Amino acid sequence: MSYAETDQLWISLEVGTDVLPLLANLCSAACVSKLRPPVDEYVFYPHKGGPTLLQPPDDWTRFVKEMEKDEWEQKERGERVVLPKEELSEAKGPEIAPSLNKGWFYKWLKKLFHS
């Protein structure tokens, strides 16, 4: 029996608070269709694995893409990221505070501390 003929597929399923990789031995295409859908942020379909398998992006990559998308949308609308006056403390000083208005790093910090 060759690798192509086997009916073994990897799936990622949530068990309690963990996500486990499970190797399912299947008897037919009907059995494949009855598998539960994989958990978000993992490979989106049952697969045989291997070096050619494309993995979904990791958390950091998804975050950076989200920040880039937000910046692009704000530029399209002609908006700027501006700190509310109450967030600008006197301790930061006038030369530091304006630089915090720019870029994805400020958005990341704001998202981190406001969530």
pLDDT above 80: residue 90: no
pTM, to two decimals: 0.49
Local confidence band at 3 (pLDDT 50, 70, 90 cut-offs): low
Better-predicted residue by pLDDT, 31 or 94: 31
Query: Cβ(11)–Cβ(38) under 8 Å?
Result: yes
Report pLDDT for 55: 80
Instruction: Enumerate the β-bridge partners of residue 8.
Output: 25
User: What digits encode the pLDDT tens for the residues 41-77?
Assistant: 788 888 888 888 888 888 888 888 888 888 888 878 8
